Chains A and B, each alone.
Chain A
Amino acid sequence: MSVEQILKAAQGRVDEAEVCISTGSSLSADLKQRQIEIGSLSEGSGLVIRVITDGQIGISSTNTMDTWEQCLDAAVASARFSDRVDWKGLPKPAAIDHNPLAYDSAVQARPEILTNLISRMLSGADSHPDAVVTGGSVSISCATHTIANSTGLFYEAPETNVTVSLEMIAGQSTGFEYDTSWRLDAINPEHVGEKAAFFAASGQEGEEISTGSYDVVLSPTALSHLLEATVIPALSGRNVHTGRSFFAGKNGQKVMDEHVSLIDDPFDSRGIGNCPWDGEGMPVQKTSFVDHGILSSFAYDLKTAYRYGEHPTGHAVRSGMGGAPGIGHHNLILTADTIDVMGDNAVYIHDLIGAHTANPMSGDFSVELSNPFHINGGDLDKPIRTGMLSGNVFDLLSQIDGCSKETRTMGSLILPSVRCSQVSIVGRG
Chain B
Amino acid sequence: MPVDPRYYDIRRVSGEITQVDIDNGKVEQAGTSFYDKATVRVLGDLGWGILSVPGHRSGSENLHKDLISQALSASAITNERVEISPVPSRIHQIPRIGEDPRQVDIEEKVKILLDLEKSAAADNIVSRRVTYIEKAENVFFIDSSGVEYQYELCRCGFSVLAVASRGGVVQMGYERDHTISGLNIRHRHDLARESADRALQLLDARPAKGGMMHAILDPELGGVFAHEAVGHAAEGDLVKEGNSVLKGKIGEMIGSSQITIVDDPSLVEFGFCPVDDEGSATSRTEIIRAGKMQSYLHSKETLAKIGDGIAGHCRGMAGEMPIVRMSNTFIENGDASFEEILQTCKDGILLKGSRGGQVDPGRGMFQFNAEYGYLIEGGECTTMVRDVSLSGEILQTLHAVSMVGNDRALHPGYCGKGGQTVPVTDGAPHLLLENAVVGGSDVC
A residues adjacent to B (C-beta < 8 A): 27, 29, 32-33, 35-45, 57-64, 66-67, 70-71, 74-75, 77-78, 81-83, 111, 114-115, 132, 134-135, 167, 169, 172-174, 211-213, 238, 242-244, 246, 303, 307, 322, 324, 353-354, 356-362, 364-368, 370, 386, 388-392, 424-426, 428
Q: Does the CB pair B211–A366 fall under 8 Å?
A: no
* Given A66-B56, A75-B31, A357-B357, CB of A211 within 8 Å of CB of B211: yes
Q: Does B359 contact A (CB under 8 A)?
A: yes
Q: Which residues of A contact B35 (CB under 8 A)?
A: 62-64, 322
Q: Are A354 and B207 neighbours in the complex by a CB distance under 8 Å?
A: no
Closest 10 A/B residue pairs (Cβ)? A78-B31, A366-B439, A357-B369, A35-B80, A424-B443, A354-B367, A243-B127, A243-B126, A81-B30, A388-B439
Does B219 lie at the interface of the complex (its beta carbon under 8 Å from any beta carbon of A)?
no
Q: Is B358 interfacial (CB-CB < 8 Å)?
A: yes
User: Contacts A211-B210, A354-B367 given: A32-B32 contact, CB under 8 Å?
Assistant: no
Q: Is B49 an interface residue (CB 8 A)?
A: yes
Residues A41 and B360 in contact, CB atoms below 8 Å apart: no
CA distance A120 to B359 in the complex (A): 29
Contacting pair B387 A27 (CB below 8 A): no
Smallest beta-carbon distance A10→chain B, Å: 15
| Chain A residues whose CB sits within 8 angstroms of the CB of B365 once the complex forms | 353, 368, 370, 386
Report B's interface with A, CB cutoff 8 A.
Answer: 20, 23-24, 26-37, 47-56, 70-71, 73-80, 82, 106-107, 110, 126-127, 129, 161, 163, 165, 169-172, 207-208, 210-212, 238, 240-243, 245, 319, 321, 355-360, 362-369, 386-389, 391, 393, 437-441, 443-444
Rounded to whole angstroms, the CA-CA distance of A392 and B106 in the bound complex is 41
Cross-interface CB contact of A388 among B80, B127, B391, cutoff 8 Å: B391
Given contacts A172-B363, A353-B391, A361-B163, contact A44 B53 (CB under 8 A): yes
Provide the residues of chain B in CB contact with A40, threshold 8 Å. Answer: 48-52, 74, 321
Q: B56: which A residues are within 8 A, CB to CB?
A: 64, 66
Cβ B47 vs Cβ A39 within 8 A: yes
Give A425 to B441 CA distance when docked, in angstroms.
10
B233 to chain A, nearest CB (A): 12
Judge whether B77 and A115 touch: CB under 8 Å. yes
Complex interface: chain A residues within 8 A of B388 (CB): 366
- Known contacts A29-B78, A74-B31; can you find 14 more A-B pairs with CB under 8 A? A41-B51, A59-B31, A63-B54, A64-B36, A67-B34, A172-B363, A353-B360, A354-B356, A359-B171, A364-B387, A366-B369, A366-B387, A366-B440, A426-B210
Q: Do B27 and A42 touch (CB < 8 A)?
A: no
Q: How far is the CB of A356 from chain B (nearest CB, A)?
A: 6
The answer, among A81, A303, A357, A359, for a CB contact under 8 Å with B27, is A81
Whether A242 contacts B48 by the Cβ 8 Å rule is no
Q: Which of A33, A357, A386 contacts B242 (CB 8 A)?
A: A33
Contact B78 A38 (CB under 8 A): yes
With both chains docked as a complex, state the minimum distance between the C-beta of B82 and any C-beta of chain A, in angstroms. 6
Q: Is the beta-carbon distance between A36 and B53 smaller than 8 angstroms?
A: no
**B48 touches which one: A38, A59, A358 (CB < 8 A)?**
A38
Let me know if B71 and A41 touch, CB within 8 A.
yes
Q: List 21 A-B contacts (CB under 8 A).
A: A38-B49, A39-B75, A44-B37, A44-B54, A60-B34, A74-B33, A81-B27, A83-B27, A115-B77, A134-B241, A169-B243, A174-B362, A213-B444, A354-B367, A356-B356, A357-B369, A359-B387, A366-B440, A368-B367, A368-B391, A424-B210
A354 touches B391 (CB 8 A): yes
Interface residue from A38, A83, A169, A426 paired with B211 (Cβ < 8 Å): A426
By beta carbon, the residue of chain A nearest B435 is A428
The CB with the most chain B CB atoms within 10 A, among A66, A358, A364, A389, is that of A364
Q: Which residues of chain A have C-beta atoms less than 8 A from B71's C-beta?
A: 41
B33 touches A45 (CB 8 A): no
Complex Cα–Cα for A296 and B29 (A): 29
- Shortest C-beta distance, A55 to chain B (Å), equals 12
Given contacts A44-B53, A357-B356, contact A38 B387 (CB under 8 A): no
Inter-chain contacts of B79 with A (CB < 8 A): 35-36
Verify A242–B127 contact, CB threshold 8 A.
Answer: yes
Q: Do A173 and B321 touch across chains, with their CB atoms under 8 A apart?
A: no
Contact between B368 and A354, CB atoms less than 8 A apart:
yes
Contact: A211 with B366, CB < 8 Å?
Answer: no
CB atoms of A81 and B31 under 8 A apart: yes
Measured between beta carbons, the chain B residues less than 8 angstroms from A43 are 51-54
When the two chains form their complex, are residues B355 and A357 in contact, meaning their CB atoms are under 8 A apart? Answer: yes
Contact B34 A62 (CB under 8 A): yes
Q: Is the CB of B77 within 8 A of A39?
A: yes
Question: Which residues from B are CB-within-8-Å of A358?
Answer: 369
Check if A367 sits within 8 Å of B170, measured CB to CB. Answer: no
Contact present for B165 and A169 (CB under 8 Å): no
Given that A243-B126, A356-B356, A386-B365 are contacting pairs, would A41 and B52 also be in contact in the complex, using a CB cutoff of 8 Å? Answer: yes
With beta carbons under 8 angstroms apart, the residue of A114, A238, A362, A367 that contacts B439 is: A367
A354 with B358, Cβ < 8 A, contacts A361-B170, A364-B207 known = yes
Q: A63-B36, A82-B27, A134-B362 are in contact. Are A41 and B70 (CB under 8 A)?
A: yes
B443 proximity list for chain A (CB < 8 A) = 211, 213, 390, 424-426
Q: Quick check: B241 and A172 within 8 Å, CB to CB?
A: no
Please, which residues of chain B bring their CB within 8 A of the CB of A41? Answer: 49-52, 70-71, 73-74
The listed residue (A38, A63, A362, A368) touching B47 by CB distance below 8 A is A38
* Residues from chain B with Cβ under 8 Å of A362 in the complex: 169-171, 387
- Inter-subunit contact B210/A388 (CB<8 Å): yes
A-chain residues with CB within 8 Å of residue B364 when the two chains form the complex = 172
Nearest-CB residue, chain B, relative to A304: B28
Write out the residue numbers on chain A whose beta carbons fall within 8 Å of the beta carbon of B70: 41
- Residues of the B chain whose Cβ atoms lie less than 8 Å from the Cβ of A368: 365-367, 391, 439
Instruction: Report the separation of the CA atoms of residues A172 and B49 in the bound assembly, to the nearest whole angstrom.
Output: 32
Min CB distance A272 to B, Å, is: 16
Which residues on B sit within 8 Å (CB–CB) of A244?
127, 129, 161, 163, 172
> Given A42-B52, A43-B52, A354-B369 in contact, is the A390-B77 Cβ separation under 8 Å?
no
Task: Please measure, in the bound complex, the distance between the C-alpha atom of A173 and the C-alpha atom of B8, giving whole angstroms.
Answer: 37
A60 and B33 in contact, given A42-B51, A354-B367 (Cβ under 8 angstroms): yes
Q: Please, which residue of chain A has its CB at the minimum distance from the CB of B50?
A: A40
Given A367-B367, A426-B211, check contact A64 B357 (CB 8 Å).
no
Contact A64 B48 (CB under 8 A): no
Q: Which of A29, A213, A244, A428 has the most CB of B within 10 A?
A: A244
